[in-house]
Amino acid sequence: MLSYIKAHNSLEEKTSDQTWEEGAIGHRTLHLLQIVYNELQQVNPDTDFIQQVFDHLSLNITFMLDPKHYEQNNHSLIMDRSLLAFAKITKSNPSLHSAIYKPTLKRALKNIDYIIDDSGLAREHATTYHIYNHNLDQKIIELIEKEDINPALQLKSLKKNDILLQLVKPDLTFPIWGDSGIENLNTHLAESFGNDQRVLDVIGGKELSSMVSFDNNIATLRTQAKDSSYVALFANYYSRTHKHNDDLQFIFQTLGIDILTDQGYYGYEDKHRPFLMSVFAHNSIAINDSDYVLGKEGQYSKLTGYWKSDDVEIVSAEHNMYDSITVKRKLYFIKPNVIVLQDWAESEDPKLIKSISEQFNFGEKANLNVKLSENIATVFFPKDIKAIVKSFTENDKITTQEVSRSRIQYSLTPIPQVKVRKEGNKLITVIEVQSDLYKTSVSNVQVQDGKIQYSKGGKKYNLAL
């Protein structure tokens, strides 16, 4: 510790890019306070050492209190947590306590309110960071005086449980959305979120209904049956923070198996992460065989419509991440085993749109050997489950390749990807899961004359596109 302190005796001294990075400083300050506490527990504390630690702490405090180092993100909240902890041990010095506590309190509450949207979702584009932000916020609230806690913010914070209920899959895992790792809904997580009875009921086996939010632009569609089919579509965009180019992507779990999955992020490096973040690694739509760039003024991604009946749910969404092009998706979930996609691109200058393609990334239990036959791709899963991708657009092409998924940091698992591509601006594709495990499944799906035709339970149905 002393060697580190001696190497960083001013704000100008640094030994890495992380020396004076907001999150690193916040974490380091807590470690320094813990070291001082540990030293004070000794029979003969080394007061000279403690003084040197406090001298270095003063640099950290000075940096963290400086408004020019503060942004609306969780790294700044990490600094706030450390400042509030430091303020708590300076209560015997009212002026020092006030100089640290008051400005930190004001900006921390404002930052928390900003990061949590009206639905209760953290604006971090990732399940893992929704959980992380909740835990960080709770630590901050514990360090705030009771009279300073805003009831409106507390109410908003309670909505974070709604997000757990919205996102959780039937097997009690969560989508590996954005920069997420493996997350599970269990009693430990429920406890950290306040033991909401609704969450505990789901852990106990309660089936959830579909949840579609035009506040956070995420739609989760469910069957509430033994097949436990689940579809989640994401059109969520606030900033580049932990976000992937996953707009309009969806995932599909049925019969306890991840049929279509999200990709994970591997780590914060530049070899595997660029692909895993790209549109090509998600169950989404690529225009002109190219990716898009986030962060431009006026960009949006959003849900635009939702309709449901007992057997069908339809959700529509769009984004304008490509320059001068709007990409649209209409997803028909014909319960329990069929998804029909109507995808297209629009522009005031039609010449900008050369081609459109869809990528479908199948789960780790899928056989890497995909069967191709004209405009049909068949993906094989255990228990004689098959996922069939069939295109109903003329002059398109279906191909397959092996790509990678990263559920665990710095670990890759090969999975099969199916791609549907067409020169033009529109695709209509059907994904049908076939299995004898369904009680009543949808079959004989056709798309023609502007209608989806299918059979279920011995009856034939028509659904307008």
- 160 phi and psi angles, rounded to 5 deg: -60, -30
Domain positions in the chain are 2-115, 208-464
| The pLDDT of residue 125 is above 90 | yes
Q: Which residue has the tokens 């969404």?
A: 317
Class in CATH terms, 208-464 = mainly beta
pLDDT digits (tens, 9 = 90+) for 94-120: 999 999 999 999 999 999 999 999 999
Q: Please, which pLDDT band fits residue 181 given cuts at 50, 70 and 90?
A: very high
| The pLDDT of residue 201 is above 90 | yes
Q: How far apart are CA 170 and CA 162, in angstroms?
A: 16
Average pLDDT over residues 234-254: 97
452 burial via Cβ count (<10 Å: 0-12, 13-18, 19+): buried
Considering the chain, what is the average pLDDT of its residues? 96
Q: How far apart are CA 321 and CA 285, in angstroms?
A: 11
Question: Are 198 and 211 within 8 A, CB to CB?
Answer: no
Position 374 scores a pLDDT of: 83
| The pLDDT of residue 196 is above 90 | yes
Question: Are 213 and 119 within 8 A, CB to CB?
Answer: yes
pLDDT digits (tens, 9 = 90+) for 46-67: 999 999 999 999 999 999 999 9
The answer, yes or no, to whether the previous bond of 350 is cis (omega within 30 of 0) is no
Average pLDDT over residues 22-39: 95
Position 150 scores a pLDDT of: 87
Position 22 scores a pLDDT of: 95
Average pLDDT over residues 400-414: 95
Average pLDDT over residues 200-224: 97
Q: Please name the amino acid found at residue 9.
A: N
Q: What percent of the chain has pLDDT over 90?
A: 92
Alpha helical stretches, state H, 346-412 = none
DSSP 350: G
Position 391 scores a pLDDT of: 96
| The pLDDT of residue 153 is above 90 | no
Q: Which of 223-232, 245-254, 330-339 has the lowest mean pLDDT?
A: 223-232
pLDDT digits (tens, 9 = 90+) for 266-283: 999 999 999 999 999 999
Q: Which helix (H) or strand (E) holds 399?
A: strand 396-405
Average pLDDT over residues 298-321: 98
| The pLDDT of residue 226 is above 90 | no
Q: How far apart are CA 57 and CA 38, in angstroms?
A: 16
| The pLDDT of residue 327 is above 90 | yes
| The pLDDT of residue 154 is above 90 | no
Number of other residues whose CB lies within 10 A of the CB of residue 234: 29
pLDDT digits (tens, 9 = 90+) for 373-405: 989 999 999 999 999 999 999 999 999 999 999
Average pLDDT over residues 413-435: 98
